[in-house]
Amino acid sequence: MRSVETRRILALAAGLMLLAACGRDRVATEVAEPLPAPSYGEEDENPEVFLDSMEVGSRELYAARDAVLAAAKIPAGARIADIGAGTGLYSLMFADKVGPKGVIYAIDIEPRFLKLISQRAADLDVGNVVAVLGRDKDITLPPSSVDVVFIADTYHYFSDRPGIMATVKDALAPGGRLIILDYTLDETHKDDPSRAHVRFGKAGMISEVTSFGFTLVDEPEVAGLKEIYMLVFEKAK
């Protein structure tokens, strides 16, 4: 499969060749507009383009995926909601971990991600992953339908955190766990443009999530995670 950059270069080269063929007898007086940037995730029919940009590109959550899975302590038969599932990296790993008696709800607000996840699950003959279209204020799961909610590199994107976290709490079964992984934010990152989207650091995350009716129960040290922390909460009784 050709990369996005390769396709862009080939398209530009073809355009230049056509311009040269049509305009040999006159001097070009106009400069063509540059090709537009590819749409988010490229075309609907080619969702695999997400894999290079979102998984492998030196991301800690990809490199440390096995350690994160171990720290998450996912039991066989568990029902898991992977919120902001993206390419389905963790959804598919969870699916193997919980086995045929468990179920993974891969939740995202981007339909093309869900298409990719469903495609990957089918290719791997994984039958316990369910793609779910989420909403800005609702993870769209029934009450007490999951044992674990997993939110990795997604919490800071929630536009209505109180609203969506209320649906997270509602979807968790009694004693259910909430696992959050997000980026550190301290004095060393205050001028880092790559952290501009991060609202607060670990202390702020703990304070806010506990205010929504959760109790912090663990702060695992995960090998391979340096810029990302992991927190485990339980649904308060």
pLDDT in tens, the chain (237 residues): 444 444 443 343 444 333 334 443 433 333 333 333 334 344 444 545 445 445 444 488 899 999 999 999 999 999 999 999 999 999 999 999 999 999 999 999 999 899 999 999 999 999 999 999 999 899 999 999 999 999 998 998 888 999 999 999 999 999 999 999 988 766 555 555 555 556 677 889 999 999 999 999 999 999 999 889 999 999 987
Is 123 in the same domain as 190? yes
* Chain centre to alpha carbon of residue 106: 10
Q: Which residues contact 153 (CB under 8 A, 6 or more apart)?
A: 61, 84, 181, 182, 183, 228
Domain co-membership, 31 together with 131: no
Q: Is the same domain home to 71 and 9? A: no
Residues paired with 140 in a beta bridge: none
Together in a domain, 26 and 89: no
Asked if residue 53 and residue 29 are part of one domain, the reply reads: no
Same domain, 65 and 176: yes
236 and 213 Cβ atoms separated by less than 8 Å: yes
Domain count, the chain: 2
Flag whether 230 is in a domain: yes
The structure tokens listed for 57 are 């590109």
Q: Which residues pair with 216 in a beta bridge?
A: 233
Is the sign of the CA dihedral 62, 68, 74, 80 positive or negative?
negative
Give the domain CATH number at 118. Answer: 3.40.50.150
Write out the residue range of the structural domain in which residue 26 sits.
1-38
In the chain, the N- to C-terminal Cα span, in Å, equals 51
What SS3 class is residue 236?
Answer: coil
Do the Cβ atoms of 169 and 212 come closer than 8 Å? yes
Residues 4 and 65 occupy one common structural domain: no
Query: Which residue type is seen at 206?
Result: I
- Any domain includes 43: no
User: Coil, strand or helix: which one is 113?
Assistant: helix
Q: Are residues 31 and 70 in the same domain?
A: no
211 shares its domain with 184: yes
Distance, in Å, from the CA atom of 169 to the CA atom of 213, rounded to the nearest integer, reads: 8
Residues 6 or more apart from 180 whose CB is under 8 A from it?
151, 152, 155, 205, 209, 230, 231, 233
Is 124 found in the same domain as 18?
Answer: no
The answer to the question of residue 198 being in a domain is yes
44 within some domain: no
Comparing CA positions, the residue from 141, 206, 201, 150 lying closest to residue 178 is 150
Q: pTM for the full model?
A: 0.75
Give the pLDDT confidence score for residue 60 in this predicted structure. Answer: 85
Domain contains 24? yes
Statement to judge: residues 10 and 109 lie in one domain:
no
Q: Is 222 a member of any domain? A: yes
Q: Which tokens is 99 given?
A: 């086995």
The reply to whether 111 falls in a domain is yes
Evaluate whether residue 109 is within a structural domain. yes
The pLDDT score that the predictor gives to residue 174 is 94
65 shares a domain with 21: no
Which residues, 6+ apart, have CB-to-CB distance to 135 below 8 Å? 109
